[in-house]
Structure 1
């Protein structure tokens, strides 16, 4: 990613109410975008520059807010069905992912953190301006132990650690199965080599996988510490898929920085996360968000969903740094539920806290990638001078009605990403 432009095409929003991603209220004013970044935010009218080409958008007293972010997407997994992933060519899978990237941007998601999948090439195409899509923080392949949450090999196949061939999920770069500290170390370094900005580890059971009940604890202490050390050496961090208490605590002890999910935690563990300054990257799951073809996985999904309310309540009580994401997977037809789940965050937080999480809050988590952060040259998720020019003009006030976010086709009148207008229905 190149440094932000010092000068370029100017885009001036006049007559808008500004939610800057942080403050609890909106402020009336103008916002000037110059090239890829925000050049000015003022409560007084910003003057024209006759020597520069400037597009002026009259916001009509609508709310201008930062572009939203999703801290837990599976871009290729979300865009492809199970049969696509099993039977489709890698080009088919990647192109579906590229198309879904455009859809996400047009829902108002200007930045996403991808938590499993070969997305570095998709990211490159988007960053070069060749195709519409959000900024992507790729994890590349998620790393799993044999019989763990990311092991999608069939039960009759010999594990790779015992000389067997890679599963289809490994062949397409969606997962990497690694057992023992040395193989885990190599797997982490492999993802960094392929462009990962952070590392994703599977540390407990999950609903989508076939072999691992939710109570299982995955990866030993030495394996987890090997992953953390390798990521730290590259200036970044490890995020861990895990629901249960034992797995969360093992991950914290090993030095991970982000717990993905955590729906089966108890209050003491959530309090420990606050004490240790560990991020909770959680999803407002509800029954019906995912569909599973067998009773075992459907029951795991039900158990996960029952923990949502309590964990959000404890996170608020103890002041845990909480990010928001969706984790939709293998059902392309429900991809638009991403917007509904953003609005659903209002069931657990005030509207302003929900909007902060969707903008500046998630961005704070993304910044843990340090030197691996591909967009570190400018602030993200805020409307302030010098920040990336990713903004949404909303028909209505989401601080008063968060449900506006559930219908982006109607409520998002203008979408700007990287200083470029990608939607304008005014």
Structure 2
């Protein structure tokens, strides 16, 4: 395939290149040339005339719950297991059509879905699975009912544990087993929940979850497997505990203070943040709605401090259990421009997130080529845009109208070019 006469944003450099031909062979970009690339249809070459339009790498999302995006709480608790996976596969296709060619899944049994997508059975983004979110009893990912007996006292696992969406594990031996279980099932990184959240039933935001020894055990087990731990946590005390135990990626962090953001920078850790607005999630329960409001109000200051201290920052959505809101992923991507320049936002959405994904080391099954860039030898994950998102980032909020071409791994997913 040759995409001719494109204006290329390569995912790294702020300056675009005009009148560029991009040659794709199989799943890879093999040439990015300011001179015309040879090839014609008689040799089986597909030619697409970009007509000077904006060509960029595929988008990425560093914090999705693909199964959670696709299913409601009632479907998790009462729906047939097959329907949960069917909904997940359908949402994977919709996510790809929104231009998201790579995602890091932060909780859910997505390794089997990833395998089917990678084999070409279904269409969807590349997936970096975490498998089940690991939580203490009464923690953010404890989805058992209040009357259920904890497993530690002989109770049965909850429904969400049965479907590998969560795993409750207390004490160092069980935490080690839980981490190793997720790695055995295909996790590329590990997700721990270390503090309260808006979606969870039992834990106020200020709770500290998991002891330092439990967190260190998880980090050791992940490190021994060549990968890292990411942690759901919002507060300064929780973030400090996570960093002290060797956690690599802080997920959320909206309630951090300036000193804590400076500490993230000092430790060289990542801040995987989401530009939340209050209407991204809907909580009829006033307690959870109040937690959501508190989280959202911290967004602006934390982004400001992250820029001030040069924190390595990734972007994600964390949409969960409201399938009707899944398409807000595109709106939230464009909203990143409220906090960063448009070109910095696009960089984070492409090569920036990819740098975080690559920390999975040999657990990264896509390490055969670069993600998030348009360069010789990179994966051929590309979007041709009607318009210039460096001038108007809101274009990415409406992929149906504005994405003329979507290519993933050299395969044309959408072509209105």
Please name the residue that 1:85 is paired with: 76
What is the CA deviation profile of residues 15-52 of structure 1, one whole-angstrom value per residue up to 9, with x for unaligned ones? 11000001112101110000000010011111116774
What is the CA deviation profile of residues 96-136 of structure 1, one whole-angstrom value per residue up to 9, with x for unaligned ones? 00000000000000000000000111101100011110000
| Separation in 1, partners of 2:129, 2:228 | 13
Q: Which runs of structure 2 are paired with 1:257-406 in the superposition (5 Å)?
A: 257-406=248-397
Residue of structure 1 aligned with 2:4, choices 14, 20, 24: 14
Secondary structure of the residue that 1:57 maps to in structure 2?
A: strand
Secondary structure of the residue that 1:410 maps to in structure 2?
A: helix
What is the CA deviation profile of residues 358-402 of structure 1, one whole-angstrom value per residue up to 9, with x for unaligned ones? 000000000000010110110000000000000000000111110
Q: Which runs of structure 2 are paired with 1:27-426 in the superposition (5 Å)?
A: 27-28=17-18, 29-48=20-39, 52-426=43-417
What is the CA deviation profile of residues 241-280 of structure 1, one whole-angstrom value per residue up to 9, with x for unaligned ones? 0000100000000001000000000000101111111000
| Separation in 2, partners of 1:371, 1:331 | 33
| Separation in 2, partners of 1:205, 1:234 | 28
| Separation in 2, partners of 1:407, 1:51 | 36
Please name the residue that 1:4 is paired with: none
Secondary structure of the residue that 1:54 maps to in structure 2?
A: coil
Aligned-residue CA RMSD in angstroms? Answer: 0.8
Which region of structure 1 is more displaced relative to structure 2, 286-295 or 194-203?
Answer: 286-295
Consecutive unaligned residues in structure 1, runs of 5 or more: 1-10
Secondary structure of the residue that 1:288 maps to in structure 2?
A: helix
| Separation in 2, partners of 1:248, 1:93 | 33
Residue of structure 1 aligned with 2:13, choices 15, 19, 23: 23
| Separation in 2, partners of 1:176, 1:401 | 42
Per the alignment, do residues 422 and 315 of structure 1 end up closer, same or farther by CA in structure 2, a change over 3 Å counting?
Answer: same
| Separation in 2, partners of 1:172, 1:131 | 21
| Separation in 2, partners of 1:82, 1:187 | 23
| Separation in 2, partners of 1:238, 1:67 | 25
| Separation in 1, partners of 2:148, 2:374 | 52
Secondary structure of the residue that 2:6 maps to in structure 1?
A: strand
Secondary structure of the residue that 1:399 maps to in structure 2?
A: coil
| Separation in 1, partners of 2:164, 2:95 | 22
Secondary structure of the residue that 2:51 maps to in structure 1?
A: coil
| Separation in 2, partners of 1:422, 1:328 | 24
Secondary structure of the residue that 2:46 maps to in structure 1?
A: strand
| Separation in 2, partners of 1:377, 1:32 | 18
Measure how far apart 1:90 and its partner are: 1.4
What is the CA deviation profile of residues 298-327 of structure 1, one whole-angstrom value per residue up to 9, with x for unaligned ones? 000000000000000000100000000000
Which region of structure 1 is more displaced relative to structure 2, 48-57 or 352-361?
Answer: 48-57
Contact residue 56 and residue 382 of structure 2 kept, 8 A: yes
